[in-house]
Chain A
Amino acid sequence: MSASYYFAIVGHRDNPVFEMEFNSSRSSEAKRDDHKHLNQFIAHAALDLVDEYMWNTNNMYLRTVDKFNEWFTSAFVTASNMRFIMLHDSKNEDGIKSFFHDVYEVYIKHSMNPFYEINSPIKSSAFEKKVQFYGKRHLTG
């Protein structure tokens, strides 16, 4: 079974700031477009639950907040209230947790860039590379 992950950072206005998909090598590329739509759909629908969960705990990592068919939604809320959303079809709590933490660190660094405006889409290849790297290390690797 192929593990596929969809990672999104959602900004303060519920707007997507960053998106990335991680697929293990065996995953097929077919129906990718629809796939992306579905990912977004689930991630977006999970925002309600993330908002709900984040008040119930002091942890940044909210674990799995939602399930949709074969999809789990895990979330992570940063101190600045940015929401990291991870869609995954297999359980990998620890991996996701460490992934979140690592990405959080990268995100903080990126947000300290004076040319980056909070809530605006992240278009940094360095950031993407880092996230890709952590995705490989913690999720698909």
Chain B
Amino acid sequence: MENKATLTYSFSESGDENLFLTLSTRLCDTLSNQTVEWRQTYGRASHQFQLKVKILPLATALLERTDLVTRPYFHIFWTDCNDLDQYRSTIRTEISSWVNTLKNYKDTEWMIVVVAGDILSRLTKAKLPIPRMSIPDKVKSDFCSKNPERLHILHDPTKETTKSTESWTALGLKVANQTVRCMEVVVSKYEERVRAERERRNEKSWDFCSYLILQEELAFMYEMLGMFSPALVQYDELDAMFTQYVLNANAGDIAHWLSRFSEPIKHWHSMLLWKRIDGDARRSILEGQASIIDIRNYLFTRLCHLLFETGKLTEITQRMHIFLHSLSTEIAILEITVPSGAIDCWVFMCCLELVGALCRKSQLQNETDNTATDNPCFDMSNEQLVLENASLWNIARLKLYSLGELCGLMPGIVTTSAHLQIVVDLLAGMGEGEERGDVATSPALVLREALSSKNNFQKQYFELSELAMGTFKHMGHFRAVRCIGNDMAEFYLKLGEPAQAENYLIDTVRMYEADGWPLLLAKANKMLARCYKKMINIRKYLRLCYSLMCDEMISQEERIFYCDEFKSLSTDLGDDTLALNIHPLASVTSIQFIPAETSLRLNSNHHIVVTINSNAPKPMTFQSLQISLDHLGPDDGIEPHNIPDVISLSSFFSRTSEDEADVKSLLSRNFSHNSSAYNSLQPFRRHKRYASTTSSREFMSNQPAEINDEGRIDLIHFQHSKPSKFPASISLHAQRDLQDGALAWAGITCRHANDLLRRQDSSQSQVDKHRSTMSVTMETYECCLTTRQVTLNPGMNRVKLNAKTDLEGYFTLQQLRMSLHKTSFVLPRIYPLVSYQVSYLQPKVFMDHNEDLISGIVQHINIAVNKGDYVNPDQESNSTLSFKTPPSVRLLCVTKCSVATPDEDVSEIEKPSLVTSSDETSINLPSTSLHATVLLKIACLCLTTPYVQKLDVRKRHRRTHSAPPATFSRSPKSAPRHKPIVESPPNPSPPSDGDVTDSIVVHSDVANGSDVTNGGDVAITTSEPTLDVKQSRLSDLKDSIKKSRNNFKNKFSRAKSPKPAKPRFDDWPTVPPNDPDVIITPSLRINGDLIEVTLDDNDVTQPVAPSPSKITETVSMTSYSEMTSSSSDDEDCKPVLIRKHSSTLPRHTPSKSDVGLTIPPVTSATSNSSSQITYDVTITTPWGDASTVTSQITCKRPVEFTHSWSFAGTDVVTRILTVVVENVTSSALTLSEPKLSLSNIKDITSLNGKKFRPLRALGSSTFAWKVSSSPFNSLNTSAQFHADLVSRCDDISDDVTSTVTYQFEVDNLRPIYTIACSVDDDEELRNGVMTSLRVDVTRLRDDPDHETTSNGQQLLMFQVMDTRGRWAVFGKSSGILSMPASRIRESTHDATHVATATVEVMPLVSGSLHMPYVLLHRFMKRRSSEFDEQLSSTQSPVLKPPRLRDFERGEVFYHHVAHQVAVLPPQSDVTHCVTEL
């Protein structure tokens, strides 16, 4: 039913109707080919179109039509009359009435067409050659005089002649033009009318509906004319007007006609696009019964139709959205009561209607293109249209969904009667789905079916969803797909098929995740969680709960809900475990070492504090928090710092591939400067080969991070959530020229440029982004730090872990995990590398003491015990320290015990007690913290060992030395030599000691002889006649001796010069006698420092001694200065005659010490090393392998001893034994209970006073005893002195005493000889008066050391001398005394023999004078020696000097030692007296 402009025709009644019908048809055809121009008013563009007309016979009804479409615009009167008469009679009248009829109706044009046939013209010409008025002329003159255009002569219309065609064309042109002109006028007038009507719109009587009809006429008109745009404009205007009214109504200006629409809507028919004009709707509009839906429907239908005509399909769909939207809005604005769901129904139907129409259109197109396929949608050439289609489906889907919800058709909802009522109501409002010919299903039918049952609803819903999704997917609109998918998933969830929903939801989640819309992501996650919960997929559900409870986009209540869910379900994993990334829950911000150092000791107490920022909604308690460690033992050999970067990186990243990109990108940013630096350093080596230049080096550091002052390392967190579009790494390269080093080129390389530069649009599938976020690779946790029951509160938490220090090596913190039942939250990688080193320190025990550890007194030793890093695997308490000491070392008690912690904090603790068992002492060490050092101060007592002085040392020398033996206590022979007592008491003194002793002996002996320098021959008067004989010969020998003396001197001095040390007397006797046959006369000469005695042994037939028969012995009398034992050898090069009071006399001469009056000088103790004793102390520690430590205690002797053995007064029997104790330490000592015991003498009287005897530092103290020895006692006895050394210790109540013992021997209990001097005339002794000195030498016992001459005599040489210049000796001061050898050996006490000599002396001063000294020497035949050889070689008179030997101290007793003689002054009146002291 197509509108065409209407023309009418009329014809003369006489004419052939069929012919005119044919002609009319022909005219239509002609007109349709004719292009005419539509001139528009108001300067609008003209419109070219082909006029399509329909020619109807003229009827009054037609003429009376006033609308634009159906009214006739042009009238044609056909006549084929060619007879004037006929014209005049009938046709003229007919035309006249026709014209009149038309004139009653304005705005019409008419035309009279006279059909002129050939026959007619020919006949006319033949009959009437004279031109006469023809029919057209008549008509023209009658009717068209003013307007000749209204007459047209059609020539031969049925014939195909040129003339005919021309006349047809001319006719067409005329008709068309005139029709259009007419139409223009009419339309113009109509427009005016519409405008006028519109101006009236504010009047009360104005009604939109009638106006709509009015204006629509224009649209129809334009549509009829093919002018769709103007037609559309009409509808647009109407539409806009309506909208405006509604908006005005919204603003309060409600048009009166609008109130009609506010009535409840009872019908919600769909728009009907299959009809060009919805007549019913138009009718209802005309009747004023249309609802707003009807009006809108109608308008949009018309719009659609016009747009379809123009082919603007996309515009339809775009308008459709607005249409649907605006209607909903308008209904809302106008507050029209609509049953719920009605609008949804309407929208659904409209969408389907439009989609159907579009499909039909495209099908029509396809049919013409012969490219029909099954699915029309996808064949639409216009993608935009497809898209719109899909979106329409989508809208329909949404509406259907909401309808389903409304009507209880959703799965899981029980359909109630109320639901059914709604369905019935809705269906009633939709109206019947009309039959519509070619269209299979109307939207109303579809909806009706969908709402009929649940199954149908589902089916319909899925169908729509799939359609929409498929289309969107095809178009690449994945977001839309996901949205639909999301709804589908929801539907499936309601349907109880969560498995179906899962994929949709995962897609959605991933999309939001990738795009970073946190709120949407949270919603999607919630749904997915619901899905998994329904699927009873606990693992996945837990994951989602996990991420949801950390999601800040959802409410706190929900987060707590998911948190609780997680907690309750985390136990339900069965045997499975779930590892989750710690990231959303918490972030580990820093790791701190307490104390702040990474070099730890084994078993030390170190902590690692992890700072965790928890995002959990509420406090969570984890069963454990662990940090896995990478352990490099000390034996693994790899220094962690030396691991090449590349290796460590590959291993680093192989474990956590998902981190790689992030790490690299991060590092490449951080270290880019390094890379450039590196390349700039390396260019010369690298540029030779291009390949090596381009081999990129990754610049990542695996160097452990440095801790700051607080020991903290801030961790770097790798974000997973956002895929990085930055390159993983960019390498910088540079190349330099070989010659000048100039930069040749530089560039950057990005390895994965293709991946990075790939288009990343919304359609890119987010491959496994989701999974990688959550899944983590777990370390083995074989070596880890663990703490239990960690509660993390929301916000910052500090978790303290004990650093693992029970293994030596290098630990790198790798991963952190927190365990909650079967789930663990893992920080996959701790970066930067955090590591610490654990080193093992062996347990150590140190023992030391002060420098001067003195035995015998209580002193302290310090013991430092450090357990090091040792941990007793069994029990901590067993820490007993055992000391195994020699018996002489006693550990008394612990006086102080303190603990020093590694950080120099010393605190004193309770003293542990010492437990002493048989052979060892043990201490229970206090249990201390690790690495603390226990400092013990132990009082210890080292017992002294006895000091033993042996006599045999002296005896050995006695035989070999010719020097006079001395009884002086300071003589080394009699003075106790402190020999080192090393450990075992019976330690023989080494021979070297003897050598040392020798040298001392020599010095002393020579010194003693220094006084014998009086010179001059002494006439010795002896009681023996033989001596006298020998004495007489002495003078003869003088000269020869003098000669030999010079030689000897030379020799001696020569011998000394290369060997400036002391002359070794040992050497001399060892020289074998060279010439034993020399006969000498006994003679003695003392000259200077030589005593030369020659013994003529010719008379001796029987040698008594086993010594060689002829012995000449020379004793050097040279005085040397007295040397201390440590005297340097340089000082005694030259013999110096220095007198000292203590050394002026031979050893056996009496001295004050002999009567106990003075203390004999003590030789300073030789504090050589041997005075120290070292004890081994073995300490057994309870720890590990190195359990035994041997340490040494070195003790010094506290005191040194010397003793002296002196005569007391005039009694031979009573003697004084003094023991001098010298404190060699620098501390004061106290001695008590001095005791002396002699082996076979009981008569000992102590002369010591107080019980305690203090000894100041370096001082000495003397103890003396009076010993009375009976003559029957043996000559030797062993003596032992002991005293208690008292020492005090603060911690011991009692004094600790230790005994110091001095063992020595005393000999010569009885002297051999006693000397008694007496002066003749002692009553009248005057100064300057010569007197005789009688010397009585009494032998008390046998002298076994003296040789016996062949005559059975023992010769003694005496010498009277005065060193003080008080006495002058006249004549011989010395002489030989002969004593008969003891006959009866067994009765030594009977061997008393007295020899007397007299010497002339004269006192030189007056007063009480002591007697001159009488020295007694053994006079012995000399043995052959080197000296003898010299003598023999010089061919000097054979005079072998005798040997003299001193007596030992104690062997000679002087009766007169204390006697004084009163010497009167020279005047005779002075009396003299003898004073006894």
Q: Say yes or no for B836: interface residue by CB 8 A criterion.
A: no
Tell whether, in the assembled complex, residue B480 and residue A45 are in contact, meaning their CB atoms are under 8 Å apart.
yes
Taking CB atoms, residues of chain B closer than 8 Å to A13 are 514-516, 722-723, 725, 760
CB pair A70–B519 under 8 Å, yes or no, is no
Interface assignment of A52: CB less than 8 Å from any CB of chain B: yes
- Does B798 sit at the interface, judged by CB under 8 A? no
Partner of A44, one of B391, B477, B520: B520
Verify B329–A70 contact, CB threshold 8 A: yes
Taking a contact as CB atoms under 8 Å apart, the answer to whether B523 and A37 are in contact is yes
The answer to whether the Cβ of B2 comes within 8 Å of any Cβ in the partner chain is no
* CB of A1 closer than 8 Å to a CB of B: yes
Chain A contacts for B250, CB-based, 8 A? 1
Query: Would you call B328 an interface residue if the criterion is a C-beta within 8 Å of the partner chain's C-beta atoms?
Result: yes
Scan B1065-1084; emit 1 where CB is below 8 A from any A CB, else 0: 00000000000000000000
- B516 and A14 form a contact (CB under 8 A): yes
Q: In this assembly, does A136 line the interface, its C-beta being within 8 Å of a C-beta of chain B?
A: no
Question: B451-486, CB under 8 A of A: which get 1 and which 0?
Answer: 000000000000000000000100011111001000
Docked Cα-Cα span, A90 to B322, in Å, equals 10
- Cα–Cα, bound, A40→B725 (Å): 24
A67 to B1324, CA, bound (A): 168
Q: Is B333 an interface residue (CB 8 A)?
A: yes
B477 and A49 form a contact (CB under 8 A): yes
In the assembled complex, the Cα of A10 lies from the Cα of B723 at a distance in Å of: 16
Closest to A14 in B: B515
Q: How far is the CB of B1404 from chain A (nearest CB, A)?
A: 124
Cα–Cα, bound, A21→B1087 (Å) = 141
A72 interface residue per 8 A CB criterion: yes
Give which listed residue, B398, B520, B722, contacts A69 with CB less than 8 A: B398
Contacting residues, chain B, for A66 (C-beta < 8 A): 391
Residue among A36, A48, A72, A90 with the most chain B CB within 10 A?
A: A48
Report A-chain residues with C-beta under 8 Å of the C-beta of B398: 69
Identify the closest chain A residue to B394 (Cβ): A68
Decide if B254 is an interface residue (CB 8 Å cutoff).
Answer: no
**Chain A 44-63 interface mask (CB, 8 Å, partner B; 1/0):** 11011101100000000000
Let me know if A41 is at the binding interface, CB within 8 A.
Answer: yes
A interface, CB within 8 angstroms of B? 1, 13-16, 33, 36-37, 40-41, 44-45, 47-49, 51-52, 66-67, 69-70, 72, 89-90
Asked if A1 contacts B520 (CB within 8 A), the reply is no
CB of B575 closer than 8 Å to a CB of A: no
When chains A and B are docked, how far (Å) is the Cα of A132 from the Cα of B512? 27
Q: How far is the CB of B279 from chain A (nearest CB, A)?
A: 31
B514 touches A70 (CB 8 A): no
Give A53's nearest chain B residue, CB to CB: B384
Is the CB of B125 closer than 8 A to any CB of chain A? no
Please give, as numbers and ranges, the residues of chain A lying within 8 Å of B762 by CB-CB distance: 14, 47-48, 51
A1 to chain B: which residues have CB within 8 Å? Answer: 250, 329, 332-333
Cα-based distance from A72 to B398 in the complex (angstroms): 16
Please tell me if the beta carbons of B321 and A15 are within 8 angstroms of each other in the complex: no
A47 to B763, CA, bound (A): 11
B520 & A40 in contact (Cβ 8 Å cutoff): yes
The complex places the Cα of A37 from the Cα of B313 at a distance, in Å, of 34
Residue contacts A-B, CB under 8 angstroms, 25 given? A1-B329, A13-B722, A13-B723, A16-B517, A36-B519, A37-B519, A40-B517, A41-B483, A41-B523, A44-B517, A47-B515, A47-B762, A48-B472, A48-B476, A48-B477, A48-B479, A48-B480, A51-B761, A51-B762, A52-B387, A67-B322, A67-B325, A69-B325, A70-B329, A72-B325
Are B520 and A37 neighbours in the complex by a CB distance under 8 Å? yes
Say yes or no: B517 contacts A52, CB within 8 Å.
no
Docked-complex contact B519 and A52, CB < 8 angstroms: no
- Residues in A with CB closer than 8 Å to B391 are 66
What is the bound-complex CA distance between A51 and B764, given in angstroms? 14
Q: Which residues of B contact A45 (CB under 8 A)?
A: 479-480, 483
Chain B interface (Cβ < 8 Å from any Cβ of A):
250, 321-322, 325, 328-329, 332-333, 387, 391, 398, 472, 476-480, 483, 512, 514-517, 519-520, 523, 555, 722-723, 725, 760-762
* Given pairs A15-B722, A67-B322, A69-B325, 12 additional interface contacts (CB within 8 A): A13-B516, A15-B517, A33-B555, A36-B519, A37-B523, A40-B519, A41-B523, A45-B480, A47-B479, A47-B762, A69-B398, A72-B325
User: How far is B799's CA from A112's CA once the two chains are assembled, in angstroms?
Assistant: 43
Q: Quote the shortest CB–CB distance from B756 to chain A (angstroms).
A: 13
Q: Tell me if B's interface is mostly helix, strand, loop or mixed.
A: helix
Q: How far is the CB of B755 from chain A (nearest CB, A)?
A: 16
Residues from chain A with Cβ under 8 Å of B519 in the complex: 36-37, 40
Bound-complex Cα distance A1 to B335 (A): 11
A44 touching B725 by the CB < 8 A rule?
A: no
Partner of B516, one of A15, A49, A72: A15
Q: In the complex, what residues of A have CB within 8 A of residue B722's CB?
A: 13, 15
Which residues of A sit under 8 angstroms from B478, Cβ to Cβ?
48
Q: Are B477 and A52 in contact (CB under 8 A)?
A: yes
Of all chain B residues, which has the CB nearest A19? B519
Q: Which residues of A contact B325 (CB under 8 A)?
A: 67, 69-70, 72
A87 to chain B, nearest CB (A): 13
Smallest CB separation, A94 vs chain B (Å): 15
- What residues on B are CB-neighbors of A47 within 8 Å? 479, 515, 762
Shortest B1014–chain A CB gap in Å is 120
Distance of B528 from chain A, by nearest CB (Å): 15
User: Would you give the shortest CB distance from B534 to chain A, in whole angstroms?
Assistant: 22
Contact partner of B512 among A44, A67, A70, CB < 8 A?
A44
CA distance A121 to B387 in the complex (A): 32
A15 with B515, Cβ < 8 A, contacts A51-B762, A70-B328 known: yes
B258 to chain A, nearest CB (A): 16
Contacts of A89 in B (CB 8 A): 329
> In the complex, A1→B322 CA distance in Å?
17
Q: Write the chain A residue with the least CB distance to B725.
A: A13
Chain B residues contacting A90 (CB-CB under 8 Å) are: 329
- The answer to whether A67 and B321 touch across the interface, beta carbons within 8 angstroms, is yes
A29, B884: Cα distance in complex, Å: 91
Cα–Cα distance between A15 and B478 once the two chains are bound (Å) = 16
Report the bound CA distance from A45 to B487 in whole Å: 13
Top 7 nearest A-B pairs (CB, nearest first) are A15-B516, A14-B515, A48-B477, A67-B321, A48-B479, A45-B483, A45-B479
The complex places the Cα of A36 from the Cα of B517 at a distance, in Å, of 12
Chain A residue with minimal CB distance to B329?
A70
* CB-nearest residue of chain B to A33: B555
> Residues of A contacting B479 with CB < 8 Å?
44-45, 47-48
B239 to chain A, nearest CB (A): 13
Question: With A and B bound together, what is the CA distance between A108 and B523 in angstroms?
Answer: 32
Q: Which residues of A contact B515 (CB under 8 A)?
A: 13-15, 44, 47
Q: How far is the CB of B552 from chain A (nearest CB, A)?
A: 13
Q: Would you give the shortest CB distance from B1468 to chain A, in whole angstroms?
A: 139
Residues of A within 8 A of B328 (CB): 69-70
| Chain A residues whose C-beta falls within 8 Å of the C-beta of B387 in the assembled complex | 52
Which residues from chain B contact A40 at a C-beta distance below 8 Å? 517, 519-520
B485 to chain A, nearest CB (A): 12
A residues near B332, Cβ cutoff 8 Å: 1
- Bound: A118/B1112 CA distance, A: 126
Contacts of A70 in B (CB 8 A): 325, 328-329
How close is B397's CB to chain A, nearest CB, in angstroms? 12
Separation of A41 and B329 alpha carbons in the complex (Å): 21
Q: How far is the CB of B557 from chain A (nearest CB, A)?
A: 12
Closest to A51 in B: B762
- The chain A residue with its CB closest to the CB of B326 is A91
Q: Which residues of B contact A15 (CB under 8 A)?
A: 515-517, 722
Select from chain B the residue with minimum beta-carbon distance to A41: B520
* B1305 CB → nearest A CB, Å: 105
| Chain A residues closer than 8 Å to B761, beta-carbon distance | 51
Give A67 to B472 CA distance when docked, in angstroms.
15
The interface centre, meaning the residue of B391, B520, B725 with most chain A CB atoms within 10 A of its CB, is B520
Contact residues in B for A41 (Cβ distance below 8 Å): 483, 520, 523
Of B516, B555, B723, B725, the contact of A16 (CB 8 Å cutoff): B516
B472 cross-chain contacts in A, Cβ below 8 A:
48
State the CA gap A7–B322 with chains docked (Å).
Answer: 21
